[in-house]
Structure formats: C-alpha cells, structure tokens
Amino acid sequence: MLEKHATVKLAGSTTEEGLLAEVGDVDVILVVYAKITKRIIEAARRLKGIVRYGVGVDNVDVRAVTERGIYVANVPDYCTGAVAEHTFALLLALARRIVLADRTVKTASWGVWTQQPAELMGTELEGKVLGLIGMGKISCAVARRAKTFGMRVMAYDPYLGEDRARLLGVELVDLDTLLQGSDFVSIHVPLTSETLGMIGELELRKMKRTAYLINTSRGPVVDEGALYKALREGWIAGAALDVYEKEPPDRDNPLFKLDNVVLTPHVAWYTEEALKRLKRSVAEEAIRMLEGMPPKNLVNREVLLGKKAP
C-alpha cells in the first residue's frame, strides 16, 4: 500500500547515532520503539511527519517536532479490544492461579489430584471490585467486560466528569479510595510526567493484602522495586505485568523469581486483527502526510494553529 506512494527503507539501526546517519533525506518516519530525539528531528531536513506504530508517543520528542511545525500521529484505536481482552486474561489468570496450576500439572505434582493445595485456591469475580486507573477507550472496554462478570467498577481519572462516569456505569473516586477499596487494580494511563512512578510504595501499601495489581499501560508508571517488595512481603496478593520499566527487562529481574506474579512480554496489543488494523492505519497516515494533508490522528494539534509547543 505505502510502496505505491513512496520509497520505503528500513533503518539499519535504532540507536540515535545510527538514525542520525539515515534520516537526512526522509519525508516521514514510521517508528515502533526507537527513540526519536531532538537531534534526529533536526537532522531530518525534509521531515513532514512522524507516525508511531501504536498509541503512546513517549519515545518521540513531541515538543521538538512541534517546534518545527511537523506532524506527529499515532494509531489510538487499533488495539482497544485486544488490550482489554489481555487485561482480563491476566485478571483471570491471577484470580484462578492459572499459571501455577499449569506448572503444577507439568511438573507432575500428582498430589494435587487427591488433595488440592491452598496455593491453587482461586477467587470468584462476581461481587468483587475492579479499580481502573485512567478511563480511556481501553479501560472503558475493560469495564464493560468486568460488568459481565458481575464486578463493581470504580475509576480514578482526574479528567473524567461525573456525568461521563455515570454513562459508563462506573463509580468515580479519588485514587486513595480506589486503592483501598479494590480487589483488582488495573492501570490504563499514558506515560507522562504526571504518571511516571505514580504507583510506588506509598500506593501499594494502601491496597488490600488480598488485592492484585495489573499493568498493561506503560512500565515506568509502576515502581518495580516497590512492587517486588510488595509482592515478596505480602502487601498485596499478586500482580500481572505486560509492560516493564526497562524493555526488554534484565535477565536477573527479581520479579522473575516470584510465584505470585504473571508476566507477558508486551503483547497485550498483539493479535492478528489488531496488527492488520495497525499496519493499514500507519500507511494511511503516512500517505496523508506525504500528500501534504494533516493526519487523522494528530497528536500535536498546535501545528494546525501554527503554534509552538508550550
């Protein structure tokens, strides 16, 4: 699709120095995880726009791009259902001890067939409280799924009004109330200066000892050191992560040694259907930029008004 409109080249490196040598003649940058820094943006003399393969744009220096009047676009809707389903898969895995039960069978711990051990005892979802931090499209989709399981849903989002919360069927509360009252806490926020490290030791200590934490948003939102301590010392019952402070995480990450944590490698978005939508949307946005039109999913709207980044 894109090849009909432009010459497509694959970068030979994702480091800053490597990209500096390659961006001089590019019109549009399509990026997944590489960091697009101010130096790279300044070196791309012909640059018309940047399209992020995904929702978050925390790996792009949006301020520097905006200063040059260049578009930044993302693809906000391609994986809403996929991430919501993965979030709920993690929630169910925690509630029913799926990973531990699977390991027990595969390691031939045959005693479980005659006397079920306490560590495999699960908990039912009906009547439990799900606390959602952030109420964007993904968390709204998670809330709908939770309600089909008979869960009560609380939400914390400083940008969500009471009327909207009522329409969504969620109880709008402050963060402390959510942490203290939820059986499951699921994080759905972008990575910003406001959300960096927003779940640390103080917040984890406010949760129930029987509660679980789920993060499918961005790793640095959660202080992993504090989470490890909380899991090891029993401040909370367990956690499930699809994202990490460092990706890929170090091989000796202490979380790997714990039985009360479920880990997946940033694949919440990764379904056949979502990937097709993503590729199509990225190509469409790039074509619009190449033709001099603003993208449909413009991140830095100041560019349209001729304003510089704040």
166 is catalytic: no
Name all domains of the chain by residue range, CATH numbers in brackets.
Answer: 2-77+272-305 (3.40.50.720), 80-263 (3.40.50.720)
Please tell me which residue in 52, 218, 245, 288 is annotated as part of the active site: 218
pTM for this model (two decimals) = 0.87
Q: How many CB atoms lie within 10 A of CB 305?
A: 7
5 is catalytic: no
d(CA 249, CA 113): 36
Sign for the CA dihedral angle at 170, 173, 179, 183 comes to: negative
d(CA 270, CA 264): 11
What is the predicted pLDDT for the residue at 306? 75
247 is catalytic: yes
Please tell me which residue in 266, 277, 280, 302 is annotated as part of the active site: 266
Please tell me which residue in 5, 103, 144, 247 is annotated as part of the active site: 247
What is the predicted pLDDT for the residue at 261? 98
Q: Where are the alpha helices (DSSP H) in 23-127?
A: 38-43, 62-67, 80-95, 98-106
pLDDT in tens, 178-206: 999 999 999 999 999 999 999 999 999 99
d(CA 298, CA 96): 41
Q: Report DSSP state, residue 196.
A: T
pLDDT in tens, 232-266: 999 999 999 999 999 999 999 999 999 999 999 99
pLDDT in tens, 6-41: 899 999 999 999 999 999 999 999 999 999 999 999
Tell me the average pLDDT of the chain: 95
**Mean pLDDT, to the nearest integer, of 267-287?**
97
**Hey, what amino acid is at 211?**
A
